[in-house]
Amino acid sequence: MKLHEYQAKGLLKEYGIPVPEGSTASTPEEARAIAEKMGGPVMIKAQVLVGGRGKAGGVKLARNPQEAFEHARAILGMSIKGIVVSRVLVAGAVDIASEFYVSLTVDRVGKSVQCMASASGGMEIEEIAAKEPQKIVRFSVDPERGMDRAAHGAELARAFGKTADQAWDIVSGMYRLFTEKDCSLVEINPCALTREGRLVAADAKVIFDDNALFRHPELEAFRSAEEYGADEMDARSAGLSYVGMDGTIGCIVNGAGLAMATMDLIKYFGGSPANFLDVGGSSNPEKVLHALRIITKNPKVTAILINIFGGITRCDDIARGILMALEKLTLAVPLTIRLIGTNEKEGRAMLEGAGINAFTDLTEAVQAVVRGAPAGARA
């Protein structure tokens, strides 16, 4: 899960890392009011979860409140890489003497946390690595031992020079954030040295490991439909695992492995899956209703496949959910069902009572849905 800049800076501040004062605005009037309250020049920065904001015109210096209003009016509503800007950060402008780069990431091969630091901040780290790799200082931190002032401080001094003590305070705070919140990336770029000789996080990026979010309910408020999409957000609230794709065949499956195998078969027979959707091991009929409601909102979907291999999941409960959905939803595309496993006979009887037949063979079901066959048709 990615954070917007203002959210990332808020977390850095909690961990004792200096950041410029700032607030967010969703209207030009709000931006002007914030600038008036702060006094002095401010930066107006589009809050979107993509890079390249500056090149797209999404970052502007405002010397006074009226300029803040004008820049915010130009940036709000702007599309940056397909994302419409709905919020800007109004942050105090930093009088920068020089810029540094510093980040913490996961070194999966070394089973450690890798720190990268450079005196060439403000640039893409990939560009520095490709053209001037000697300018990047790299060192690993053993997560069982943590950061060591003597050893790791000396490494930071190679990049930060005379500001190494300040850099240590910043990076040790970053490390605590990284480990305590299960991050996969904490990056400050640029880590700016002001004319007064103070290091501040002028921009920041924080990414959490999605697999560890269950340990951090306090982070749920950061989840954004901009990153996950409205459908994924709806699915999560309903207890479903959902990932949207670009295809045309909607998929409802129980079990992640079976879901991936189902999508592979759809591709094999010439179709394209519109989503990954795992209803899990629960037999709650409401989940099927929620799943079909989410999938039918996608205008690209031309057919739907429900593939259930019942173990913990009971086929009769799945059938009940299908019938419930057909009563409450208008299904304008063909529905193909494959049903096998626990309480299969009961589930089939319920569907047959409504005039719906279900496949037992997955290959036949996938071939049927790829052809766009109507509900219950057989190969």
Q: What is the set of active-site residues?
A: 101, 187
DSSP 259-328: HHHHHHHHHHTT--BSEEEE-TT---HHHHHHHHHHHHT-TT--EEEEEEEESSS-HHHHHHHHHHHHHH
HSE on the CB side for 281, CA within 13 Å?
A: 2
Count Cβ atoms below 10 Å from residue 232 Cβ, excluding itself: 19
Count Cβ atoms below 10 Å from residue 156 Cβ, excluding itself: 26
* Backbone φ and ψ of 122, nearest 5°: 85, -10
The H or E element containing residue 4 is none
Long-range CB pairs of 229-238 (<8 Å, 24+ gap) are 231/275, 231/294, 231/297, 231/298, 234/290, 234/294, 235/277, 235/290, 235/291, 235/294, 238/286, 238/287, 238/290, 238/291, 238/294
| C-alpha 151: how far from chain center | 35
Round to the nearest angstrom and report the end-to-end CA distance of the chain.
42
DSSP 193-239: EETTS-EEESSEEEEE-GGGGGG-GGGGGG--HHHH-HHHHHHHHTT
The 10 Å CB-count burial string (b at 16+, else e) for 106-136 is beeeeebbbbbbbbbbbbebeebeeeeeeeb
Q: Which two tokens stand for residue 262?
A: 């189902």
Which has the closest alpha carbon to 273: 378, 379, 369, 374?
369
* Backbone φ and ψ of 267, nearest 5°: -65, -40
Residue 364 exposed, middle or buried by CB count within 10 Å (0-12, 13-18, 19+)? middle
